[in-house]
């Protein structure tokens, strides 16, 4: 069993502290289920928050983009950064407007990033990102060429501090509101894949792979 993250001044959950979670297993499950993270950083006094695809291995999060990307250039300089992933599990509908909420799982992680320069390591990081999005895809497609690798920057973000915040369960109304004739409860929300849409230039008789037909986000 891996050691939990130690709560710090930046990561300790203060508002609703009972929802704070610090064990790595829970944090990793949330990161592994998400598809998009938001990366926060500050450049020349201006804060930025950028959404990006990612993947995790151990205490490292990998993301990629154009070699000209402002975010990747700034992060490679070693500036502090913050990564957030949030999963919404349901709308919590109370009897009063004040107590409406969401059931959710979120991770906030702090750390620094470095650019991966070794071509083999860069290719492996891109494979990990691809497999995080849809397992089985990498083995079927053409791998990046040398020219494409040079045009792509891949960063490894090392998680130094992190915490999760999780809400589950029904609405919590004021006691006097429970008698109100208003429906209350939880409306679950999930991400469900739809019917695959073939590209208009798909080669004739190309079948939809099983990993696409049976895709389920979060099932690794």
Instruction: Provide the pLDDT for residue 64.
Output: 95
User: Is residue 167 within a helix (H) or strand (E), and if so which, with residue range?
Assistant: strand 152-167
Q: What is the mean pLDDT of the chain?
A: 94
- What's the whole-number mean pLDDT along residues 58-66? 94
Instruction: Provide the pLDDT for residue 216.
Output: 77
- How is 8-23 classified by DSSP, letter by letter? -TTTS--SSGGGEE--
Instruction: Provide the pLDDT for residue 23.
Output: 95
Lowest mean pLDDT among 2-11, 31-40, 210-219: 210-219
Domains in the chain and their CATH numbers?
A: 17-172+187-213 (2.30.110.10)
Residue 67 binned pLDDT confidence (cut-offs 50, 70, 90): confident
Judge whether 209 and 140 are in contact, CB under 8 Å: yes
- How is residue 102 written in tokens? 């969401």
Residue 218 binned pLDDT confidence (cut-offs 50, 70, 90): low
Using left for φ > 0, alpha for ψ between -120 and 50, and beta otherwise, residue 78 falls in left
Instruction: Provide the pLDDT for residue 219.
Output: 44
Residue 22 binned pLDDT confidence (cut-offs 50, 70, 90): very high
Q: Measured between alpha carbons, how far is residue 193 from residues 190, 212, 215 in Å? A: 10, 9, 7
Judge whether 75 and 42 are in contact, CB under 8 Å: no
148: which DSSP letter?
H
Instruction: Provide the pLDDT for residue 220.
Output: 40
Instruction: Provide the pLDDT for residue 194.
Output: 92
Judge whether 161 and 80 are in contact, CB under 8 Å: no
Instruction: Provide the pLDDT for residue 7.
Output: 95
CA–CA distance, 49 with 159 (Å, rounded to integer):
17
Residue 1 binned pLDDT confidence (cut-offs 50, 70, 90): low
Instruction: Check whether 126 has a pLDDT greater than 90.
Output: yes
120: helix, coil or strand?
helix
Instruction: Provide the pLDDT for residue 217.
Output: 63
- The residues, ordered by sequence, that sit 6+ positions from 36 with a Cβ below 8 Å of its Cβ are 51, 52, 53, 54, 85
Backbone phi, then psi, for 37, in 5-degree steps? -115, 160
- What's the whole-number mean pLDDT along residues 17-34? 95
**Number of Cβ within a 10 Å radius of residue 33:** 15
Closest CA to 115 of 154, 78, 80, 151: 154
- How is residue 185 written in tokens? 């409860």
pLDDT digits over 152-168, tens only? Answer: 999 999 999 999 999 99
pLDDT digits over 184-210, tens only? Answer: 999 999 988 999 999 999 999 999 999
% residues pLDDT > 90 (the chain): 93
């Amino acid at each position: 069993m891996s050691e939990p993250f130690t709560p710090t001044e930046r990561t300790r959950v203060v508002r609703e502290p009972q929802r704070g979670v610090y064990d790595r297993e829970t944090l990793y499950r949330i990161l592994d289920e998400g598809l998009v993270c938001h990366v926060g950083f500050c450049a020349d006094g201006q804060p930025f928050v950028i959404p990006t695809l990612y993947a995790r291995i151990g205490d490292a999060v990998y993301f990629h983009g154009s070699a000209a990307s402002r975010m990747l250039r700034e992060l490679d300089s070693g500036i502090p950064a913050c990564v957030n992933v949030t999963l919404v599990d349901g709308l919590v509908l109370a009897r009063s407007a004040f107590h409406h909420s969401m059931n959710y799982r979120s991770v906030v992680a702090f750390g620094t990033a470095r650019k991966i320069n070794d071509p083999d390591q860069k290719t492996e990081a891109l494979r990990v990102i691809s497999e995080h999005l849809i397992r089985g895809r990498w083995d079927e497609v053409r791998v990046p060429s040398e020219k494409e690798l040079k045009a792509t920057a891949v960063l490894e973000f090392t998680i130094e501090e992190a915490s999760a915040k999780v809400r589950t369960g029904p609405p919590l109304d004021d006691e006097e509101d429970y008698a109100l004739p208003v429906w209350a409860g939880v409306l679950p929300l999930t991400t469900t894949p739809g019917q695959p849409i073939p590209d208009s230039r798909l080669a004739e008789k190309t079948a939809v792979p099983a990993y696409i037909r049976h895709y389920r986000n979060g099932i690794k």
